[in-house]
Amino acid sequence: MSIPVPRYALYYAPRPEEGLAVAASQWLGRNAETGQSRPLKAVSAFTADRLGELTADPRLYGFHGTLKAPIALAEGFSERDLLEAVGNFAAGRRSVVVPSMTLACISGFMALVPSQPSVELQDLADSCVIEFDEFRQPADEAELARRRAAGLSPRQDELLLRWGYPYVLEEWRFHLTLTGRISDEGERSAITDLLRRQFVGFIDRPLSVRDLCVFRQPAAGRPFTALARFTLGGGRRVSSEVWRAA
């Protein structure tokens, strides 16, 4: 029997008490930080089961914006080492304010994205990819084949080999995923209407990225949960246990 290998990711995630976190938890039926889950309900033409299918992927990963995609730790590094490094890194960074967010379709899935590119956010993501690369266990042939099956450009393949993930640096785009891929245009249009109502208070509004979060997946196929968050510009760790105990 193989030993489960945890993975770690660096994410933006709103604090659990923030309105965006509440709206996202209602939509996905799960809060990755508090550990709370709630059954989805039928809405408009969508059954609860269908909404569960459409939101399965983002529910697994937890509501987030990726700054460094999930990695298994390289030999010689521990979870404690990673958390200490993230805290030190966060202390030397500044929070970022995205002037406006919008709802968009990216490769078939729906997400909240910046209305305009953010240089500051791009720099934060680039730095996360580069600074924490030493913690990354190199991708094996199976992982490379899985990524390449999606169809990568030559540049994306180059990034995959160098950084373990094809959508980094200039190929990266900040997004807060709300659904899996929806191929039917009519269904996508109907979901878009639901999302506009659910996230009406966050579309065409600014987004404050105040923390750098570490999410952990204990084993393949298991849900990601928030392990810790560190304030940008302070490095102060706020344990997720604070909210789980609330």
Q: What is the pLDDT of residue 237?
A: 73
In the DSSP assignment, the letter for residue 235 is -
Q: Which residues in 91-111 are b (16+ Cβ under 10 Å) and which e?
A: eebebbebeebebebeeebbb
Whether the full predicted model's pTM is greater than 0.85, yes or no, is yes
Helix (H) or strand (E) holding 106: strand 101-106
Tallying the residues shown for the chain, one arrives at 246
Which residues have a Cβ under 8 Å from the Cβ of 2 and sit 6 or more positions away?
none
Helix (H) or strand (E) holding 12: strand 7-12
Q: What is the pLDDT of residue 240?
A: 55
Encode pLDDT of 104-146 as tens digits.
Answer: 999 999 999 999 999 999 999 999 999 999 999 998 999 899 9
3-state secondary structure 131-155: HCHHHECCCCHHHHHHHHCCCCCHH
Locate the domains of the chain by residue range.
Answer: 7-238
What's the rounded Cα separation, in Å, for the pair 84 and 105? 36
CATH of 7-238, one of 3.90.1140.10, 3.40.50.300, 1.20.1740.10, 3.40.710.10: 3.90.1140.10
Contact 50, 191 (CB under 8 A): no
The pLDDT tens digits along the chain (246 residues) read 578 899 999 999 999 999 999 999 999 999 999 888 889 999 988 999 999 999 999 999 999 999 999 999 999 999 999 999 999 999 999 999 999 999 999 999 999 999 999 999 999 999 999 999 999 999 899 989 999 998 899 999 999 999 999 999 999 999 999 999 999 999 999 999 999 999 999 999 999 999 999 999 999 999 999 999 999 998 677 765 544 444
Backbone φ, ψ for residue 70 (5° rounding): -55, 140
Contact 119, 98 (CB under 8 A): no
